[in-house]
Structure 1
């Protein structure tokens, strides 16, 4: 029971699904393997998180014919407001720094938002629906991978039910704890943060006007991200021991803790739906490739959510890999050979490592209440806010619109 493909993608999440569609658009036959049941992964209760899609990443979805299905469920980010302070509590009335940083999409002059906030379930459903229409993509799910063997001319992925998938290249899209990466003996730089991410959705009285807020608190950033239907997604970074206590609160007490951080600028706030939490960690692979293996997304780099750039880094991985493999095949090269795959690594590793380490530095700089650091970072925010070219640079950086862009991400004429 053996089937042959050009590329086998292990991991059918957001990165793996998008990779299959991007590679198929270049003419590759792809297998997507995931241990999860697609029916369960489509369910709203499976993942209540949202994803920030930068305006450059959105070009990939457009060129793959996916954006029309996503757009009705995507809330544009028109402005980003960054502030610093302390949360309100019974012992403290809370403070907000007089310094701030304001990113206004209109300054870019492109008549487009800085990005969009989309619920993960929407993205997952759109990707699964698109994959189902492609004759050159085969979805094996639920199907647990049992082993992978990398040979001189091909790779063989064996499933638990003994089916074999043969491919010229295997793409690891199996997350931050990638077993494929470990089996290839690719080392990582890894550390855990003493922080936990809490994710919840709230409804509010007043319209958010497409404004995303990042409120830096001593325990970590508290992000308020605009969603459709006048809702906001909260990505609340907190010290891990405190996060456990917050997650255990009843609905009313949890709402009060949100209001202490959210403030009243959007009126009364009401949590809607369940809440989720997950430990935060940093993982950066020391190599993105091995013979017949390429890492993408969290398997290559899992970063702090402070800037909302994790998924966008993976989108650029996917678009770059599609270009490199397409170019290699077109001149008759073996797409699983290191001579081809190293071009992908050279393109992506420095860029993603720089951003990953930058988010780590930002988190360490802002997630504390040390007075000299608080003064320095507030002055720094004020200085950047006063210099238009600097603001535009950071907006383009957040938009994933800098450096050498793959063809799927290239600027539209």
Structure 2
């Protein structure tokens, strides 16, 4: 992607400046450029070039998100490395329990032949979106932080760390849960910490997982095993998302490898044979962050800049893609009508579309975490009865599958696989 022309000469006003080159920022730029090729779009990313290639994490891509990626022309490149989730089981137990009864299980299809989710390596997702952005002619400035923002009348002025100044009709802030652009725009947040951290790593195991994902609700937090494609050596692998109290999580990832693997094995079990940690485990502190507004003059928040939620439902990435699809639809429709898509009356449409759904998901994950991350006997009885009732009600299970797949009634067109 070109970077020099924007740093050595005044390119004139931009239509859209996207801050952040994660999957949300890239998808936002690609969605807009594909629908409106005439738009002048630039991505600015603070991370040094190539950092994304060292991301060893994987993400669950819901069916709606895969439809969107297909419409954007990147799913074909991702699919060979993607692992379909064919089954999901949920248990509620204690760490030392020898048997973990299955309280709830889901089949893995929303439509015939269409799994409700796939597991995709973050670097594969990011790489495919970057390739598509380059093909569409989207410029990128890497290793460059945004240091200042001045919302104006028809344009916002953005100041970069190297002294360059850019003017743009709209800034899309997709720069993460600690978004600097959000602060610069004067948008406040609601935030609290959970006292938990999410440990992430990849595990190799002897027997195949057959596409089954598992989530075990344990007193300290959920422990999820998510199926991955075999690696280039043919080894069976799963991604681990393991929530522990922050103090314990730090000790585990920074302590002795044997202790870590012993604790991991106690939670993972031996149903897939012997296991081995395949990469260096890392831990991230968990909290709830909700922006009080999703828009400000000439600014729209998307992805983690707008909302950071608990991973208990695995919906963080898919919420970000919902933001992208809704924002792109609003902007493209406004541009076709000759409206100023950076004006507040247009951006309010995006906020109205996405804010309630996001707050609802944030509250839901917060309640689920508080309900399941404990060992209080009365709560355990209530939640297990609830899981058992859902298991015995096919229509309710189908509803939850469609919700998990991202195919709700307010789904934007891109997430239905339709052009905007």
1:155 is matched with which residue?
A: 156
- CA drift of 1:99 comes to 5.1
Structure-to-structure mapping, 1:20-99, within 5 angstroms: 20-27=29-36, 28-42=39-53, 44=54, 47-88=55-96, 94-98=97-101
TM-fit CA distance, 1:95 = 4.8
In structure 1, the residue matched to 2:281 is: 275
Q: Deviations over 1:226-280 (max 9, x none)?
A: 0010200000000111112211232222111111001111111111121111100
Alpha-carbon shift at residue 74 of structure 1 (Å): 0.7
Aligned to 2:136: 134
Q: Over aligned residue pairs, what C-alpha RMSD do you find? A: 1.4
CA distance in 2, matches of 1:159, 1:397: 40
Question: Which of 334, 342, 351 lines up with 2:348 in the alignment?
Answer: 342
Counterpart-to-counterpart distance in 2, 1:40 and 1:75:
24
- 1:368 match: secondary structure: coil
- Give matches, 1:183-198, under 5 Å: 183-198=184-199
Alpha-carbon distance in 2 for matches of 1:371, 1:392? 29
Deviation string, structure 1 residues 36-90 (Cα, Å, up to 9, x no partner): 1222322x3xx222111000010111001101111111110011101011113xx
Per the alignment, residue 116 of structure 2 pairs with 114
Q: Residues 68 and 417 of structure 2 are in contact (CA less than 8 Å); yes or no, is this contact kept in structure 1?
A: no
Which position in structure 1 is the counterpart of 2:296? Answer: 290
Shift of 1:353: 1.0
| 1:15 aligned onto 2:21 | no
- Partners of 2:250 and 2:327 lie apart in 1 by 39
Q: What is the aligned counterpart of 2:371 among 359, 365, 372?
A: 365
* Change in CA separation of 1:411 and 1:12 when aligned onto 2, cut-off 3 Å: closer
2:112 equivalent to 1:104 = no
The gaps in structure 2 that reach 5 residues or longer are 1-8, 231-235
Q: Is the 8 A contact 2:77 2:128 kept in 1?
A: yes
1:48/1:276 contact within 8 Å kept? no
Structure 1: runs of 5 or more not aligned = 89-93
CA contact (8 A) 2:90 2:102 kept: no
Give the whole-Å Cα distance in 1 for the aligned partners of 2:248 and 2:328: 43
Runs of 4+ in 1 over 4 A off after TM superposition: none
Q: TM-score, normalised by structure 2?
A: 0.93
- Whether 2:202 is the aligned partner of 1:201: answer yes
Q: TM-score, normalised by structure 1?
A: 0.95
> Matched residues in 2 for 1:325 and 1:98: separation?
48
The residue matched to 2:136 in structure 1 has which SS?
A: coil
Distance 2:100 2:237 in 1: 26
User: The residue matched to 1:202 in structure 2 has which SS?
Assistant: strand
Distance in 1 between residues matched to 2:308 and 2:66, nearest whole Å: 21
Contact kept, 8 Å, 1:76 with 1:115, in 2: the verdict is yes
* 3-state secondary structure, aligned to 1:403: coil
SS in 1 for 2:118: strand
